[in-house]
Amino acid sequence: MSSLTLGWIDYAIMFTYFVFVLGIGWALKRYMKSATAFLEAGRSLPAWVTGLAFISTNLGALEVMGMTGSGAKYGMLTTHFYWVGAIPAMVFLALFMMPFYYGSKARSVPEYLKLRYDEKTRGLNAILFAVMTILASGISMYALAILLENILGWNFHLSLILSAAIVLGYTYLGGLSSAIYNEVLQFFIIVIGLMPLVFLSLKDFGGWEGLKDTLAPIVENKGYAADAWTTTWKYTGKASLNPMGIEWYGIFVGLGFVLSFGYWCTNFLIVQRAMAAKSHLAARSTPLIGAIPKMFIPFLIIVPGIAALALMSRNPGFLPVNEAGQPIYDYTIIMLLKQYLPTGVLGLGITALLASFMSGMAGNVSAFNTVWTYDIYQSYIRPASGNKEDDEHHYLRVGRIATVFGILASIAAAYIASKFGNIMDFLQTIFSMINAPLFAVIFLGMFWKRTTGHAAFAGLLGGFLIALLHHGLTIPVGADTVFKGGWIGVVHQYPVEMAQNFWTAIFACASSATITIVLSLMTKQKKLSTELVGLVYQLTPRETDKDVAWHKRPLTLAIFVLVILVILSVIFW
């Protein structure tokens, strides 16, 4: 595939962006005098900053490269990841879970597990989370390397090293604060940079209605109803009627409950942004502020992906294909840029992609270094000495070393990501195995005081192993690598990777919850009720917000968000 032709103005835009992101890190370097400042941003950031960072952290390679490809592969059904697969969980996090995360003064989700359960449950989650963040960061690196290889004609391996070096530069200098402020900058760059792609792709086909008319014969030729790619729930009554190959209850339970609540409510990468807020109210408002732009991002990313399907019909060589002759959907956004954006605007679009990938990489690395430093190194290798000043400086050094190690490990993970045809599928595989059982354990711990530490540990480990077992015994139709499953044997084939991921998550969460409940009833609760105040819903005083103006209350904002969600779901039913 030939590289894109860029003008000097395109390179100038990209260079200016690199200067800005490194400049933010350099400007914040002088404030990084302790581990608390480097790893926790001092819990000093306003809600609008943490809210935009909350959503920008998720607006990485998964969103831009993976979701655009999924738009071509699955159509508007991909919006389930934004609407039913995100918004209810974000509202639940804000109203019910953030009071415990923030109020407990835990520095991470694994540390909350220690406070609620015990040390071994924290240790297991810390290890699983560290692996997940490295793999997710590697996905972003892989996506960025593909971008640079195909746009600039650079060597893939050189591109990996360059992207790693830039992210390492500003996260090493400015820590979590640098990552968060860069995420806010990156959010606006992504929106501005990709907006022209939406208008130009729709204009090419005569608007949304024209695109639907163009797609109708293409979709019917695939064996689906004419509007299967432009609706969300209409054809989910049977798996064979929709391109995602799953029924409505699989979407509702697997994605809308298990995967979404597991990701948005327990993933420290996301929760860390809210925990950096300056107050209890700001922390609770953070997910709700992020939910508003989250609902409209599909129009920025998925709609151009759907247009790509029409372009593939017009030009069969629009997307490159793999050895099996199947389109490589990861290239969708790159080919759209090549198709529609002229010099100057192209530079802005490419910079938007660079911003999204770096956002994903930096977010994962900043979460990794916090968990490594506090939940692994401090807990099992070198406990605090008791001298607060010496400890802060020591753990600051450890956090910076962990940042370097996380980047190097992410490079290795990038090569694993290259074995998948769609990075979105790869990410959801990881989330289904790690976040789904974790959600069951945290949910039971927060809302059932009888849950015990031994039961939680067994449930977390058991759910993860059941997920591995299910993945090892199933495989998507046409899979060409063991990374997609079937490495034990094949007892069932799913129509597509996403259906396999949904059911992996369902089995993982259900088995984790069952194990935790049964063993909790069989084991003794070692923690006194007084030790669980601030950690369990039944034992914690409720937030009243009586001194907060009604329009600033999290409940008011939550209702506003849910009303918009219902309206969008009805329009695109």
CA distance 287 to 484: 32
pLDDT tens-digit series, residues 418-477: 765 556 667 778 788 888 898 899 999 988 999 999 999 999 999 999 999 998 899 888
CA distance 219 to 197: 23
- CA-CA-CA-CA torsion for 266, 89, 98, 545, nearest 10 degrees? 180
pLDDT tens digits in sequence order for the chain, 573 residues long: 556 677 788 888 888 888 888 888 788 888 888 878 787 766 778 888 888 888 887 776 567 777 888 888 888 898 988 999 899 999 999 998 888 888 777 788 889 899 999 999 999 999 988 888 888 888 778 877 777 777 777 788 888 888 788 888 878 887 778 888 888 888 888 888 889 889 999 998 889 999 889 888 888 888 888 888 888 888 888 888 888 777 888 888 878 888 788 888 888 878 888 888 888 888 899 999 999 999 999 899 999 989 988 888 888 777 777 776 777 787 888 888 888 888 778 888 888 877 777 777 788 888 888 899 989 998 888 888 878 888 888 988 998 999 999 888 888 888 777 765 556 667 778 788 888 898 899 999 988 999 999 999 999 999 999 999 998 899 888 776 666 777 888 888 888 777 788 888 889 999 999 999 999 999 988 888 888 888 888 888 777 777 788 778 888 999 999 999 999 999 988
**pLDDT on residue 346:** 82
For 45, phi then psi, to 5°, come to -95, 145
pLDDT tens-digit series, residues 473-495: 998 887 766 667 778 888 888 88
| Residues 278 and 46 sit within 8 Å (Cβ to Cβ) | yes
CA distance 499 to 246: 6
DSSP string across 512-572:
HHHHHHHHHHHS---S-GGGGTTTSGGGSPPP--TTS-GGGSHHHHHHHHHHHHHHHHHHT
DSSP string across 260-300:
HHHHHHH-HHHHHHHHTBSSHHHHHHHHHHHHHHHHHHHHH
From the number of C-beta atoms within 10 Å of its C-beta (0-12, 13-18, 19+), residue 325 rates as exposed
**pLDDT on residue 425:** 67
Least Cα distance to 303 among 83, 77, 68, 82 occurs for 68
CA atoms within 13 A on the CB side of 154: 16
pLDDT tens-digit series, residues 354-384: 777 777 778 888 888 889 998 999 888 888 8
Angle subtended at Cα 41 by Cα 38 and Cα 47, rounded to the nearest 5 degrees: 160
Calculate the alpha carbon distances from 367 to 176, 192, 361, 454 in Å: 8, 27, 10, 26
Topology (CATH) of 8-427+548-571 = Sodium/glucose cotransporter (1.20.1730)
Helix (H) / strand (E) containing 494: strand 492-494
- CA-CA-CA-CA torsion for 266, 270, 272, 277, nearest 10 degrees? -120
348-351: long-range contacts at Cβ-Cβ below 8 A with a sequence spacing of 24 or more? 348/13, 348/192, 348/193, 348/196, 349/193, 349/194, 349/196, 349/197, 350/4, 350/6, 350/10, 350/13, 350/14, 350/147, 350/151, 350/193, 351/13, 351/14, 351/17, 351/189, 351/193
Q: Is 564 left (phi over 0), alpha (psi -120 to 50) or beta?
A: alpha
**pLDDT on residue 562:** 95
| Residues 535 and 100 sit within 8 Å (Cβ to Cβ) | yes
pLDDT tens-digit series, residues 272-305: 888 888 888 888 999 999 999 999 998 999 999 8
**Terminal Cα distance for the chain, rounded:** 37
**pLDDT on residue 464:** 93
CA distance 543 to 281: 10
| DSSP conformation class of 492 | E
| Structure tokens that stand for 97 in this block | 């879970």
| Structure tokens that stand for 517 in this block | 């409940």
